[in-house]
Amino acid sequence: MPAAEVSSLDPRLLIGILACSHKAKTIACLESLAANEDRNFDVFLIDNGSNEEIGEAAKKFPFVTVRVEPRNVGAAAGRNLIRHHFLEKGKWSYLLFMDNDLLVLPQTLGKALAQAEALRARGIPLGGVGAHIVYRSEPEKYWSAGGGLIDWEKAWFREGGQGGIRGKDFPEPRRLDTSPTAFLLVTRDAAEETGPFVEDYFVYFEDADWCWRMVKAGFELWSAPECVALHDISSSLGKCSPRFYYFRTRNRMWFFQAFSPDRAGQIRRRIFKDVIWNGVYPELRAGNFSAAWAVIRGFLAGLRLPPGLRKREDSSTFFQAGSPRKDVAAGIPL
């Protein structure tokens, strides 16, 4: 479905950006927004505990409003601040969550809005659209093809597109279970009815949790292949920090147990086997002992759900009513 043209005057858009580091990349991100053909937007930027005075540097852009947090409140809490600002002011039709290390092309915003408007014109209860994000250094290679599906059997994700070829893989708009908030355009209704991000996650999986709750509330997530953004990271990035391994492992445990509490035992065994063979063992062989220990710590911390995730519906009913796909409606085949 080709994206229809959209007026530069309607709808209005708020772009929410979190920045806890990378001052130069943040300024480059804002410069790419300033060069966009659709200029009918505002930016709400949160300097999330950076020590680089990112917020002060961003004030030179007239479309930017800055909020400075003295410490890093986390991705989930930071996006809640953005969501609150968006809903409180009430003058924007759409909210775009965007990472500070992304660059947009001159037509990116217009393409995203056009895709959203075209889907809504078809009567689709739209929650949001995700851009096709490619690596800046390799613009033919996907970092994300808009998002992906949740693989309940493996307690992971599938068809996210990472490493795929732009134009060849996932060339058409498609429905999604989740989309990264690196570039996620959401409607006002969806932002309001989905509720806040769960701040217990701090970082990683907070967007998957929020998107899946949006889908369960009756909204649809779609990819927008014609909407392209550039991720200013390397596709061959080296080993990640122990914090990355800890949060990703812990939050993976939390996410899948929270949405399927009566299958917690199977989920734990599934994830344990995966992280041992694909996390701990390779890191030990590579001599990355701190990373291996972070995976183990993350798994152990993930055995107990935090208060913000304990009040989920029983999966026997949660995965039935209104589910968008047969494999989900039938339950989790663990």
Judge if the upstream peptide bond of residue 11 is cis by omega within 30 degrees of 0. yes
Instruction: Report pLDDT for 234.
Output: 53
Q: What are the structural domain ranges in the chain?
A: 13-231, 242-329
Radius of gyration of the chain measured on its C-alpha atoms? 19
Instruction: Report pLDDT for 143.
Output: 94
d(CA 2, CA 75): 33
Which of the four CATH numbers 3.90.1150.10, 3.40.1350.10, 3.30.1370.10, 3.90.550.60 does domain 13-231 have? Answer: 3.90.550.60
Instruction: Report pLDDT for 322.
Output: 32
Instruction: Report pLDDT for 323.
Output: 35
32-37 long-range contacts (CB < 8 A, ≥24 apart) are 32/103, 32/104, 32/105, 33/63, 33/104, 33/109, 34/61, 34/63, 35/106, 36/104, 36/106, 36/107, 36/108, 36/109, 36/110, 37/8, 37/106, 37/107, 37/109, 37/110
Instruction: Report pLDDT for 239.
Output: 53
Instruction: Report pLDDT for 107.
Output: 94
Series of mean pLDDT values for 10-residue runs along the chain (334 residues): 40 90 93 89 94 91 94 95 94 95 94 95 97 94 95 93 91 96 97 96 96 97 96 61 93 94 90 94 92 96 90 43 31 26
User: What's the 3-state SS for the chain?
Assistant: CCCCCCCCCCCCEEEEEEECCCHHHHHHHHHHHHCCCCCCEEEEEEEECCCCCHHHHHCCCCCEEEEEECCCCCHHHHHHHHHHHHHHHCCCCEEEEEECCEEECCCHHHHHHHHHHHHHHCCCCEEEEEEEEEECCCCCEEEEECCEEEECCCCEEECCCCCCECCCCCCCCCEECECCCCEEEEEHHHHHHHCCCCHHHCCCCHHHHHHHHHHHCCCEEEEEEEEEEEECCCCCCCCCCHHHHHHHHHHHHHHHHHCCHHHHHHHHHHHHHHHHHHHHHHHHHCCCHHHHHHHHHHHHHCCCCCHHHCCCCCHHHHCCCCCCCHHHHCCCCC
d(CA 200, CA 73): 11
- Copy the structure tokens of residue 29: 């991100």
